[in-house]
A = this chain, B = another copy of it.
Amino acid sequence: MLKIKIIVVDRTRSEFLKQGESFYMKRLKRYAQTEWVETKPVGIKKGRSTFGILKEEGDSIAKKLVIRDYIIALDRSGNAYDSEELAARIEKLSLTHGRLTFVVGGPLGLSKTILNRSHEIFSLSRLTLTHEMSRLLLLEQLYRAFTIIKGEKYHK
């Protein structure tokens, strides 16, 4: 069974998004051994540069990355697949990689270091999404991708 690791910054604060995450995590686990990893956030405070915050958050993320994993970062600058293309991409990757790691940044996004270290960058939308909404959308699209790969009905 494919192993998926989803690395996110901080725990989910929004109650309804937390419920949504559990909902899709449960579904996703039918198709892949899915692990959810939360890393330490760095507060946005006066006097702290975006660069400094992203660097420190990136260091926490880097500790959770495993050398042989295929790493997919989420960023608006990435490839904007449609759902069928995303499913095809995941199916292809799953043939050559036992483990896929997705990385979703915090409110300020991901550091250049993490983006450069990733094998691939996905964009969910041209729109700016909250980082917590991105997580939900990622989970929903992964679930959707597996229903497409397996030719199964999408359960709403």
Interface bin, chain A: 20 to 34
Asked if residues B81 and A126 are in contact (CB atoms below 8 Å), the reply is yes
Asked if residues A20 and B16 are in contact (CB atoms below 8 Å), the reply is yes
Asked if residues A133 and B140 are in contact (CB atoms below 8 Å), the reply is yes
A25 CB contacts on chain B under 8 angstroms: none
Distance, CA A90 to CA B144, complexed state (A): 31
A144 CB contacts on chain B under 8 angstroms: 128
A80 CB contacts on chain B under 8 angstroms: 125-126
Query: Looking at A13, A19, A23, A127, which has the most chain B CB atoms within 10 Å of its CB?
Result: A127
Output the nearest chain B residue to A122 by Cβ-Cβ distance. B127
Pairs A–B under 8 Å by Cβ, sample size 25:
A13-B156, A14-B20, A14-B23, A14-B156, A15-B19, A16-B16, A16-B17, A16-B19, A17-B20, A19-B19, A76-B82, A80-B125, A81-B126, A82-B126, A83-B127, A83-B128, A124-B125, A124-B127, A125-B126, A125-B127, A127-B137, A129-B137, A129-B140, A133-B137, A133-B140
